[in-house]
């Protein structure tokens, strides 16, 4: 199942996140296993220091490169126009693939993210990346960025889960034609202690993780749960054979506390 980005590129709604997945055999095996078992989207970043293993996992899988959607991101220390171009070159060498599907500005570093975005526009115009976007940009960051762009971000990847729904930001991105994507959708395991989700798990005969991931995709949100365990990787992908009813979708929305498990973009950068 895919979403269509503003430029017409197809982006799979479910991906494998590899944050804190160790470079080498662990990430290579997780990526190859996921791809061989139905995934078509892998999300990494310079910060994760596992791009080499991700690339090897893609090549070692049985899936043609043309069917795999690979995302990586420019880290904060590499931001600015020239630095971002060099960082992209290094990521491409690490991944050892001829193009990157989606390249993101990882965080809105003050005084630098506009120049970083100019570099992404150049990479896109040159055809070295299929789509470009941002990560962890709140509405005020986008309000500051958008008047100066030639090409709008196609994706905004953000922390998103039942305790951090950000409905107004979701709507803003939708209005701007920017695809909303969720990182840490399982709250780093925090979802497993929420009573409502336990109730819904029993109601639908699905795991708590499957309930939350299904909630994401029914809201039109791309989601990238992280796992290195084969059983969990498969379980997380089994979310296309059921549907949450409207009342249950709304009940999950109402769990929102504005509570983060990761850094606040206004403090982190």
Catalytic residue among 48, 103, 113, 124: 48
Q: Is the four-CA dihedral 19, 225, 261, 111 of positive or negative sign?
A: positive
DSSP letter at 85 equals H
Residue 204: CB atoms within 10 Å:
16
* Backbone φ and ψ of 262, nearest 5°: -115, -175
The C-alpha angle with vertex 184 and arms to 165 and 253, in degrees rounded to 5, equals 20
| Residue 53 parent element (H or E) | helix 51-60
Residue written as token pair 């995709």: 217
Respond yes or no: is residue 163 known to be catalytic. no
Q: Active-site residues: which are they?
A: 48
């Amino acid at each position: 199942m895919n979403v269509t980005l503003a430029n017409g590129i197809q982006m799979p709604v479910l991906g494998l996140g590899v944050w804190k997945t160790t470079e080498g055999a662990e990430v290579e095996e997780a990526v190859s296993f996921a791809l061989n078992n139905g995934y078509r989207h892998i999300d990494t970043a310079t910060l994760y220091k596992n791009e080499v293993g991700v690339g090897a996992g893609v090549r070692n899988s049985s899936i043609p490169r043309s069917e795999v959607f690979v995302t990586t991101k420019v880290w904060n220390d590499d931001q600015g126009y020239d630095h971002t171009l060099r960082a992209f070159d290094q990521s491409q060498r690490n991944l050892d693939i001829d193009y990157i599907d989606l390249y993101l500005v990882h965080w809105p570093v003050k005084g630098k993210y506009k120049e970083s975005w100019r570099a992404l526009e150049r990479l896109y115009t040159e055809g070295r990346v299929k789509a470009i976007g941002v990560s962890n940009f709140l509405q005020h960051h986008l309000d500051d960025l958008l008047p100066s762009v030639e090409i709008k971000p196609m994706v905004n990847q953000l922390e998103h889960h039942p305790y951090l729904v950000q409905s107004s930001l979701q709507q803003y991105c939708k209005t701007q034609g920017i695809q909303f994507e969720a990182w840490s959708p399982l709250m780093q395991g925090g979802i497993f202690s929420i009573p409502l989700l336990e109730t819904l798990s029993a109601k639908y005969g699905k795991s708590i993780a499957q309930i939350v991931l299904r909630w994401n995709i029914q809201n039109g949100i791309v989601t990238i749960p992280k796992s290195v365990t084969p059983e969990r990787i498969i379980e997380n992908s089994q979310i296309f054979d059921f549907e949450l009813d409207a009342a249950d979708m709304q009940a999950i929305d109402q769990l929102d506390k504005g509570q983060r498990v990761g850094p606040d973009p206004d403090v982190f950068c």
